């Protein structure tokens, strides 16, 4: 299982945990498993269609997953993911 | 949220420095009282949008947590519109707990600071809740 680091502002949605374990062979599978285990996180980071919001950043071992294969980026047991929803907006 | 006049001024000065582009940053605090303003970089650098640099965002959030403070608010400026959340502000409000503080420079001589809880997944009409800002 991969380790997913939860930033402070999402911890309440993850039951207060700093890190959680989630199963999957790529970023998309790990995030699906995470959102299934912690629906409150899914509510925050997924669109109404169940897709990962384009303003949510994901890092795999500190590398931007978008610069790799995005949700298809392969991950293993030793990998650490960080989910970081953007702080963004506009008038 | 209680904000000292000095910290309110820090936010206004940041907004003016970045004008005509939007500024953004974080407000740390304890028990609803702001203790620090942490200006951040708007990677968009436009008058219409702010996106905080993600690495800086993470660093600042961890800095606040490590110091035992809370992330009280995420702030940004509206340079040409009122201090009220736009549709985009609501759509991109991923954080339910911290307040979203908006400083408006629409009237450049009279900046306005207001704060809101934003709930992007709530039903329409229930996404925006204003919270009083006590500047004293």
Q: What is the pLDDT of residue B120?
A: 84
Of B50, B85, B94, the CB nearest to A85: B94
Q: Which residue has the higher pLDDT, A17 or B134?
A: B134
Q: Do A90 and B54 touch (CB under 8 A)?
A: no
Tell whether A9 is covered by a domain. yes
DSSP label at residue B123: P
A79 belongs to a structural domain: yes
Q: How far is CA B11 from CA B3, B28, B48, B88, B112, in A?
A: 10, 13, 18, 21, 11
**A61 and B CB contact within 8 Å:** no
Q: Confirm if B26 and B60 have CB atoms less than 8 A apart.
A: yes
Per-residue tens of pLDDT for chain B, all 136 residues:
999 999 999 999 999 999 999 999 999 999 999 999 999 999 999 999 999 999 899 999 999 999 999 999 999 999 999 999 999 999 999 888 899 999 999 998 999 999 999 988 888 899 999 999 999 9
**CA-to-CA distance for B104 and B90, rounded, in angstroms?**
17
Contact flag B94-A8 (C-beta cutoff 8 Å):
no
Residue A91 pLDDT > 80, yes or no? no
pLDDT of the residue at B97: 87
Q: Is A45 on the interface with B (CB under 8 A)?
A: yes
- What is the b/e burial string over B78-109, where b = at least 16 CB atoms within 10 angstroms of the residue's CB? bbeeebebbeebbbbbbbbebbbbbbbbeeee
Report the alpha-carbon distance of residue B82 to residue B116 in Å, rounded: 13
Q: What is the pLDDT of residue A10?
A: 85
Residue A27 predicted with pLDDT over 80: yes
Residue A91 domain-assigned (yes or no): no
For A:2-31, CB contacts with B below 8 A are 7-10, 12-13
Handedness of CA B70, A47, B118, B3 (dihedral sign): positive
Chain B hits for A42, CB-CB cut-off 8 Å, are none
Instruction: Tell whether A43 lies on the interface with B, counting CB pairs under 8 A.
Output: yes
Query: Of B26, B50, B98, which has the smallest distance from its Cβ to A90's Cβ?
Result: B50
- ipTM value: 0.91
Q: Which domain holds residue A14?
A: 2-85
Rounded Cα gap, residues A35 and A80, in angstroms: 16
- Number of domain units in chain A: 1
Residue A39 belongs to some domain of the structure = yes
CA distance B66 to B58: 12
* Higher-confidence position of A70 and A10: A70
Q: Does residue A90 fall inside a structural domain?
A: no
Beta bridge partners of B131: B115
B32: left (phi over 0), alpha (psi -120 to 50) or beta: left
Q: pLDDT of A29-45, one tens digit each?
A: 999 999 999 998 998 88
Q: CB-CB: which of A7, A43, A86 is closest to B61?
A: A7
Shortest Cα–Cα distance, B7 to chain A (Å): 20
User: Quick check: B116 and B128 in contact, CB under 8 A?
Assistant: yes
List, as one string, the DSSP characters of B38-81: EEE-BSS-SSSEEEB-HHHHHHHHHHHHHTT-EEEEEEEEESSS
Q: How confident is the model at residue A86 (pLDDT cuts 50, 70, 90)?
A: very high
Q: Is residue A52 part of a domain?
A: yes
**Which pLDDT tens digit goes with each residue over A42-64?**
988 888 888 899 999 999 999 99
Look at residue A35 and tell me if it is in a domain: yes
- The CATH number of the domain holding residue A12 is 3.10.20.30
> A16 to each of A5, A6, A19, A20, how far by Cα in Å?
12, 9, 9, 10
pLDDT for A12: 86
pLDDT of residue B22: 97
* Domains and their CATH numbers in chain B: 2-135 (3.40.140.10)
Does any domain span residue A68? yes
Write the residue in A44, A90, A91 that is nearest to B94 by C-beta: A44
């Amino acid at each position: 299982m991969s380790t997913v680091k939860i930033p402070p502002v999402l911890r309440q949605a993850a039951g207060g945990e700093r890190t959680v374990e989630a199963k999957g062979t790529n970023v998309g599978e790990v995030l699906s498993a995470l959102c299934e285990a912690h629906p409150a996180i899914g509510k925050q980071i997924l669109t109404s269609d169940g897709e990962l919001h384009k303003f949510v950043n994901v890092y795999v071992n500190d590398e931007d997953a978008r610069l790799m294969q995005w949700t298809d980026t392969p991950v293993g047991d030793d990998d650490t993911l960080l989910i970081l929803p953007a702080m963004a907006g506009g008038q | 949220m209680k904000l000292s006049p000095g910290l309110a001024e820090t936010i206004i000065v940041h907004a003016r420095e970045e004008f005509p582009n939007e500024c953004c940053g974080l407000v740390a605090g304890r028990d609803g009282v702001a203790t620090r303003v942490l200006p951040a970089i708007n990677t968009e650098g436009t008058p219409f949008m702010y996106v905080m640099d993600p690495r800086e965002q993470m660093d600042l959030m961890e800095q606040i947590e490590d110091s035992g403070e809370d992330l009280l608010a995420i702030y940004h400026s509206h340079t040409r519109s009122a201090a009220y959340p736009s549709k985009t502000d609501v759509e991109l409000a991923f954080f339910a707990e911290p307040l979203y503080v908006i400083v408006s420079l629409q009237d450049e001589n009279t900046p306005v600071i207001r704060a809101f809880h934003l709930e992007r997944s709530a039903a329409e009409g229930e996404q925006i809740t204003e919270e009083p800002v006590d500047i004293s």
